[in-house]
Amino acid sequence: MRIDILSVVPRLLDSWFGESILQRAQQKGLAEVVVHDLRAYSTDKHKRVDDYAFGGGAGMVMQIEPIDRCISALKAERAYDEVIYMSPDGERLDQPLANRLSTVNNLIILCGHYKGVDERVREHLVTREVSIGDYVLSGGELAAAVLSDSLIRLLPGVLNDETSALSDSFQDGLVAPPVYTRPAEYKGWKVPDVLLSGHEARIEAWRHEQALVRTRERRPDLPGAASETFGEG
């Protein structure tokens, strides 16, 4: 998967993709993330990428030309499956959307700033708008990093344990069960006996039951909350 991210603050994203799982995914050739500075596509002598809103009002608006020039240059190199604009009024990102988007080859992600982008960008250049939640961020960069991370970690071979992305919270409509590590007792606080029993089937049943109990308590809105209790009846 290749992800091209368009930003007026590219440095915000450079460190994020240069570390940890995301860096390893790129070193293994499973993902490629390229961050583009929209100012490099400005034809203005001061490299401006924004201007006042027609009709007045507070806040600057990102101009269409640098965005169009950057997207056109990218499209001349390869075909893109989606051009995504990160926006608080977009479709809410959830695990099913991440799963679907993780199967595409090439993605452009546009980060908004200021009062947003000229509406013609959304009408003519963008194929999809995505929000990461009902709150406003000062720019789309964090949201683009969240979206990219949620996709890249799903690519086959990115996580060491092949099953671990599948057993994540939300993949089966359930939140994750609790996990523990050594020591088995700390300040008198004990790890549940079943996890120390070595009995795989019982451990699996316990984890499923815990996931179900937690989902009903914390996220009754998730589809897994309505599923049957493991081993019941």
List residues binding ligand 6GU (CB under 6 A): 86-88, 112, 131-133, 135-137, 139-140, 143
3-state class (DSSP) for residue 226 = helix
By beta-carbon proximity to ligand 6GU, the closer residue of 66 and 140 is: 140
CB of 93 to ligand 6GU, least distance (A): 8
Does residue 212 contact residue 226 with C-beta atoms inside 8 Å? no
**Angle CA 136–142–144, to nearest 5:** 105
By beta-carbon proximity to ligand 6GU, the closer residue of 10 and 177 is: 10
Does residue 26 contact residue 2 with C-beta atoms inside 8 Å? no
Cα–Cα dist 196/184, whole Å: 8
Alpha helices in the chain (DSSP H): 11-17, 20-27, 64-75, 95-101, 119-124, 141-152, 193-196, 200-218
DSSP designation for 221: T
- 109, containing H or E segment: strand 106-111
Does residue 49 contact residue 62 with C-beta atoms inside 8 Å? yes
Cα–Cα dist 171/125, whole Å: 31
By beta-carbon proximity to ligand 6GU, the closer residue of 4 and 172 is: 4
Cα–Cα dist 72/66, whole Å: 10
